[in-house]
Amino acid sequence: MSNPTIESRTSPAATAPAATTVMSMQQALNRALDEVLADNPKAVIFGEDCGRLGGVFRITDGLQAKHGEQRVFDTPLAESGILGMSVGLAMAGFHPIPEVQFDGFAYPAINQIVCQIARMNYRSRGTLPMPITLRVPSFGGIRAPEHHGESLEALFAHVPGLKVVSPSTPHEAYHLLKYAATRPDPVIFMEPKSRYWQKGEVDPATHDADGGSPTGAKVMREGRHLTLVAWGAMVARCLQVAELAAEDGIDIEVLDLRWLKPIDAAALAASVRKTRRAVVVHEAPLTSGLGAEVAQLITQSCFDTLRAPVERVTGFDVPYPSGDLEDEYIPNIDRILFGIQRVLEYKRG
């Protein structure tokens, strides 16, 4: 990711970093927001039900009580209003951290996100940066009603002027949100809602203990035979698949892309030049999905080393189905294994 010109407005977290603790992704996000509010007096959190209720997923739980109604507030039920208002707040020097309650309700705000937020920096020749972190509970897997489980990453990534990131674990959630919420550019922060209650270790002191970049992709498991590229909730599933494949002697590397825009092309290249094979896994529909982008980046950097075309295992070109058909839609372990098999068994014609 190109390094922003404006650095984080403030010093490190006001709350002293504690030792590694086990917490859920919901708790990790809540804590990150708490610290962002403490660190940056210009940070404000708002949206539908995120004040008193603490959000329908409790991500903003307790923040209004602690930081006051000026900093954390409920808005009327209008996504276009929430995002349009973010633009003005940003112009007034604030760092808005709006929430849309569910992914599907980002659609009513698309006009403000695409035509306004994404372009204001450009339109104003850099004089009106848009330090907006839009939190979007994202993706499926919870048998929710229509519009409560969507994969919008390709849509957002396609828009010039937006950055897109998605965490896969509580640790990633904590650090990526803290990072995103201190950037001077608009970041769409896609939280995998099916992982909200999963626990994991969070080390608040360091994001990438091996010195990796907070804007890069991250190898979640090393392997030699094939790279699975994923993000959000699919990372955990790919790690499961890798475990299963290991029983058959197939050594799979799992790369958590983390940033979906900009994509860490160097990390992709490094991984696939090592394994020489890749499968991209995402929940979003196949056609014009991010898998195509990832496959092209790999092809470009690894054409000479690739043993097989990059495969994609994805959702289908259908509206996100109702709960009963959800498991047919989201890439499951079998479908990912089939994808791996297609790559491993590929024969040059």
Ligand X SMILES: Cc1ncc(C[n+]2csc(CCOP(=O)(O)OP(=O)(O)O)c2C)c(N)n1
Residues known to be catalytic? 148
317 exposed, middle or buried (CB, 10 Å; 0-12, 13-18, 19+)? exposed
Q: Coil, strand or helix: which one is 38?
A: helix
| CB proximity list for 275: less than 8 A, separation 6 or greater | 223, 224, 225, 226, 227, 253
Contact 213, 258 (CB under 8 A): no
Judge contact between 100 and 47, C-beta under 8 A. yes
Q: What does the block give as tokens for 274? A: 């090592």
Tell me which stretch binds another protein (CB under 8 A): 43-51, 162-170, 210-218, 256-264.
Answer: 43-51
Q: Does 69 interact with another protein (rule: CB under 8 A)?
A: no
User: Which span sits near ligand X by CB under 6 A: 21-29, 37-45, 100-108, 244-252?
Assistant: 100-108
Q: Does 53 bind ligand X (CB under 6 A)?
A: no
User: 223 near 272, Cβ under 8 Å?
Assistant: no
Pairing of strands 218-221, 72-74: unpaired
208 touches 214 (CB < 8 A): yes
Smaller CB separation from another protein, 139 or 259: 139
Q: Are 191 and 135 in contact (CB under 8 A)?
A: yes
Alpha carbon distances (Å) from 208 to 68, 149, 175, 205, 326:
33, 30, 9, 9, 34
Structure tokens at 147: 């519009």
Strand order in the sheet with 43-47: 72-74, 43-47, 95-98
Could you tell which of another protein, ligand X, none binds residue 42, using a CB distance below 5 to 8 A set by kind? none
The residues in 187-216 that bind another protein, with binding defined as CB under 8 A, are: none
What is the chain's alpha carbon radius of gyration, rounded to the nearest angstrom? 20
When the beta carbons of 108 and 214 are compared against ligand X, the nearer one is: 108
Of residues 146, 136, 139, 92, the one with CA closest to residue 113: 136
Which one of the spans 133-141, 142-150, 176-184, 203-211 is the region binding another protein (CB under 8 A)? 142-150
Could you say which of 62, 122, 124, 316 contacts another protein (CB under 8 A)?
Answer: 316
Q: How far apart are CB 190 and ligand X at their closest, in Å?
A: 17
Taking contact as CB under 6 A, which single stretch among the options 101-109, 152-160, 200-208, 247-255 is the one that binds ligand X? Answer: 101-109
- Beta bridge pairs of residue 306: none
Nearest to 170 by CA among 200, 193, 190: 200
| Residue in 46, 105, 156, 259 binding another protein, rule: CB under 8 A | 105
84 binds ligand X (CB under 6 A): no
Within 327-346, the residues that bind another protein by CB under 8 A are: 328-329, 334-335, 338
Binding span for another protein by CB under 8 A among 228-236, 251-259, 270-278, 318-326: 318-326
Partner whose footprint covers residue 69, from another protein, ligand X, none (CB < 5 to 8 Å by kind): none
The 252-291 contact track toward another protein, x by CB under 8 A, reads: ----------------------------------xx----
Interacting residue with ligand X among 34, 48, 99, 172 (CB under 6 A): 48
Per rule CB under 6 A, is residue 105 in the interface with ligand X?
A: yes
Q: Name the residues that contact another protein, by CB under 8 A.
A: 48-49, 51-54, 56, 74, 76-78, 80-81, 104-105, 107-108, 143-148, 286-287, 316-319, 321-326, 328-329, 334-335, 338
Q: Name the residues that contact ligand X, by CB under 6 A.
A: 48, 77, 79, 101, 105, 108
